[in-house]
Amino acid sequence: MSWPAIGHDALVTLLVVLVVVGIVPALGGIYQYLLVPVHGLRNHLRHAAPHLPRVAVVVPAWNEGAVLAASLERLMRLEYPADRLRVYVVDDASTDDTPDVVRAKAAEHPGRIHLLRREQGGQGKAHTLNHGIEHLLRDDWMQALLIMDADVIYRPDSLRRMTRHLADPQVGAVTAYIREGSGRPGAVARFIGYEYVTAQACARRAQNVMGAVACLAGGAQLHTRANLEAIGGRIDTSTLAEDTFSTFLTQLDGRTVVFDGQAVVLAEEPDSVRALWKQRVRWARGNVQITARFRRTWFRPARGHRLGRLDFGLVWFSVFALPFTLVAASTGFIGLYFVSPGTAQTLFGQLWWFGLGTYLFITITTLLVDLDTARRSWFEGLMFPGVGALVLIVASATPGFWLDTVPAWLGITLTPAGVEAWTLLLYSWPVLSMVLARLIRDVEGTRLLGWTSRPLLYLVGYGPLLCAITLDAYVREWRGAAQTWDKTEKTGRVTA
Amino acid sequence: MNAHRHADGPQGWARLTDDDLVHEIAANRRAERWFTVAGACAALLTVLVVLVVAALR
C-alpha cells in the first residue's frame, strides 16, 4: 500500500473516531436513563424513617423584597414541628425593602424568623451563607441545616420528606426536586421546566442508584450538623459552584448524598434567553472549576465514595464535554464528506436507529416521569433538541425524504449543488445550531428582530442553546474573565 | 394513608404521628415504582417505533 493511501486511510479513521466521539455523551445519557427504572426498585426510602431534627433554614437574600414574603409564609406553613424549625434570613446589605419584609414576618411569627444582616455585601451567595452558618454553629440548637434560595417555594410536606433520610446515620446531605413553578411560564421557562425533569427528576434518581450524586440543588440542600462541621463548617467561596463543592466534599468524606424526588420545591426560572445565559454561564464556569479542583477524583475508584467510578465519570464528562463532542461530530462528518463521501453517507445512514432511539427513549421517559410538567411542557419536550436536529434524525432514517419526497411535494427537483449544500448543512448542524443559539441571545429584546428569537429557539432547540452557553462559559473561564455572582432577576411568579 | 389529609395549617404536623410518616414513606416507595413502569413503557415504545421505521425503510 502506498504512503498516500495509508495517509488517506488514517485520515478517514481519525474522522470516523471524531464522529464516534460525538455519540459518547448520548451513551452517557442513555445509561442514566436506564437507571431511572432501577430507582423504582432500589432507592434510599427503604432506609428512611420518621425523623424530625431541629432544622435551621438559612435564606441568603439580596434585594429579594418582591419574593421573600411569600417564601417565608410558605416556610411557616411547612408541616414540620414549629419548635424544631427556625428561619434565618441573611440579608446581604440589600438596598430594597428586604429587611423590612423580614422584620414584618418575624413579628408575625415571633421566635421563628430571624434577620441577620451583612453590612458589607456583594461578595456572593457563599459568603452570605457563611455569615449565617457561623452564627448558627455558635450554639448547639441546630441539628440540621437547610440552605435554600429566597425565591423558592417549599411544598408543605417537602422538608419532612427530606429529613426522613437523615434517620440513616450514613447520610450527610439530602436534596429535593426543584421544579419550575411559574404561574404562567413562557417558552424559555417551559423549556427549563422540562430540562429540570431530565437533569433532576431523572438524572438525580440515576445518580442515587450509582451511589454518587453530582449536585445538591442550591435551593434545597439539607445537611446534618455533623456533615456541615466535617466539611469545614462553611461553604466554599473559591468557586462559582458552592453547592456542587459541598456535594463532593460530603461524599469524599464518606457520607451519602440522597436525592428525594418526592420532596418537591417550586422555583421561578428565567424566561428570557439573556437571563438564562447569564445564569448558566455562572453554573458552567462553576463546573469547570469543580472539574479542575477534583481532578484527582475522576476515574479513580476508591473506598469510601463512588465519585471515582467509571460510570459517574462518564455521566459527568458527558455533560462537561458535550459542546466539544458536537464540534467533533460535525468536523468528522464534514471531513469525511470531502475525504470519503461514501463513508460519510454510510455512517450517517447507519446511525439512524441510534439517533431516533435515543430521542424517543429519553423524551418518552422524561414526559412520563413528571406528568404535571409534561402537561405544561410537552411541546418543549418534543422540541428540546430543536427542529433542526429532528430534521437530521429523519434525514438519517429516510435519506430520500428531504431529497426526493419533500421536493416532489413542492414540485421541484434538487440540483446536485442543492443536494451538496443540503448534505453539508445537515453535517454542520450541530455546530451551526450553537452559532444560531448565540444569535438568539443577541436578537432577543431588539426592536427590529426581537420577534425572531422564539421561532429561532424552537428551530435551534434548548439543548444546543445550553451547549452554546457552556462553550461561552469555557471560553470566559479560559480567558480568566471576572468571576461575578450575578443575581437572576425574579418577580414572584411561582404558584404552588 | 395520605399525609396531606391532616395538613391544615402550621399545626398540621402535630397529627402526623410516626405511623403517618411511616405510611407516607411506604406510599412514596410505591409511587417510585411508577418510574420502573415509565422506563419499561418508554423502552418498549422506542423499540417498537425503531422496528416499524426499520421495516418501512
What phi, psi does A260 have (nearest 5°)? Answer: -110, 105
Which residues in B lie closer than 8 A to residue A156 (C-beta atoms)? 4, 7, 12
Residue B10 has pLDDT above 80, yes or no: no
Please tell me the distance from the alpha carbon of residue B5 to that of residue A165, in angstroms, as a whole number: 22
Please tell me the distance from the alpha carbon of residue A323 to that of residue A208, in angstroms, as a whole number: 26
**Percent of residues, chain A, with pLDDT higher than 70:** 97
Q: Label residue A287 exposed, middle or buried (CB < 10 Å: 0-12, 13-18, 19+).
A: buried
Q: Kindly report the number of other CB atoms within 10 A of residue B17's CB atom.
A: 12
- The ipTM, to two decimals, is 0.89
- Give me the DSSP letters along A202-259: IHHHHHHHHT--S---TTEEEEEHHHHHHTTSS---SSS-HHHHHHHHHHHTT-EEEE
Question: A–B: how many Cβ contacts below 8 A?
Answer: 111
Residue B21 has pLDDT above 90, yes or no: yes
Which residues in A lie closer than 8 A to residue B31 (C-beta atoms)? 262
Q: Kindly report the number of other CB atoms within 10 A of residue A417's CB atom.
A: 8
Residue of A46, A76, A177, A360 to mutate for B, most B C-beta atoms under 10 A? A360
Q: Taking residues A77-86, what's their average pLDDT?
A: 94
Question: How far, rounded to the nearest angstrom, does the alpha carbon of residue A218 sit from its chain's CA centroid?
Answer: 11
Query: Would you state the torsion angle of the CA atoms of residues A77, A44, A27, A350, taken in this order, to the nearest 10 degrees?
Result: -100
Q: Give per-residue pLDDT as tens, A89-146.
A: 999 999 999 999 999 999 999 999 999 998 887 788 899 999 999 999 999 999 999 9
Residue A1 has pLDDT above 80, yes or no: no
pLDDT score at A386? 97
Using CA coordinates, name the residue in chain A closest to B29.
Answer: A45
> Which among A39, A76, A364 has CB closest to B35?
A39
Please tell me the distance from the alpha carbon of residue A233 to that of residue A240, in angstroms, as a whole number: 18
> Which among A37, A397, A398 has CB closest to B39?
A37
- Output the average pLDDT for chain A: 94
Collapsed DSSP state (helix, strand, coil) of residue A85: strand
pLDDT score at A483? 64
Contact between chains at B13 and A34 (C-beta distance less than 8 A): no
> Which among A40, A76, A364 has CB closest to B46?
A364
**Contact present, A465 and A272 (Cβ < 8 Å):** no
Contact between chains at A81 and B53 (C-beta distance less than 8 A): no
Q: How far is CA A322 from CA A97, A107, A307, A319, in A?
A: 42, 50, 20, 5
Please tell me the distance from the alpha carbon of residue A297 to that of residue A302, in angstroms, as a whole number: 9
Which residues in B lie closer than 8 A to residue A352 (C-beta atoms)? 53
Q: Give per-residue pLDDT as tens, A398-454.
A: 988 999 999 999 999 999 999 999 999 999 999 999 999 999 999 998 989 999 999
Residue A147 is which amino acid? I
Contact between chains at B36 and A357 (C-beta distance less than 8 A): no
Q: How many residues does chain B have?
A: 57
Residue A222 is which amino acid? L
Contact between chains at A156 and B12 (C-beta distance less than 8 A): yes
pLDDT score at A481? 72
What is the β-pairing status of strands A171-180 and A220-224?
Answer: antiparallel
Residue B11 has pLDDT above 60, yes or no: no
Which residues in B lie closer than 8 A to residue A398 (C-beta atoms)? 53, 56-57
Higher local confidence (pLDDT), A268 or A321: A321
Residue B4 has pLDDT above 50, yes or no: no
Q: Taking residues A158-183, what's their average pLDDT?
A: 96
Contact between chains at B39 and A34 (C-beta distance less than 8 A): yes
Contact between chains at A48 and B25 (C-beta distance less than 8 A): yes
Contact between chains at B36 and A37 (C-beta distance less than 8 A): yes
Contact between chains at A360 and B21 (C-beta distance less than 8 A): no
The candidate with the shortest Cα–Cα distance to A11, out of A342, A337, A333, A335, is: A335
> Which among A40, A78, A398 has CB closest to B35?
A40
Residue of B28, B30, B44 to mutate for A, most A C-beta atoms under 10 A? B28
Q: Taking residues A211-239, what's their average pLDDT?
A: 96
Residue B13 has pLDDT above 80, yes or no: no
> Which among B10, B32, B35 has CB closest to A77?
B10
Q: How many residues does chain A have?
A: 496
Which residues in B lie closer than 8 A to residue A49 (C-beta atoms)? 21-22, 25
Using CA coordinates, name the residue in chain A closest to B37.
Answer: A37
pLDDT score at A184? 87
Which residues in B lie closer than 8 A to residue A34 (C-beta atoms)? 39
Q: Which cell goes with A408?
A: 416532489
Full-prediction pTM beyond 0.90? yes
Please tell me the distance from the alpha carbon of residue A54 to that of residue A46, in angstroms, as a whole number: 23
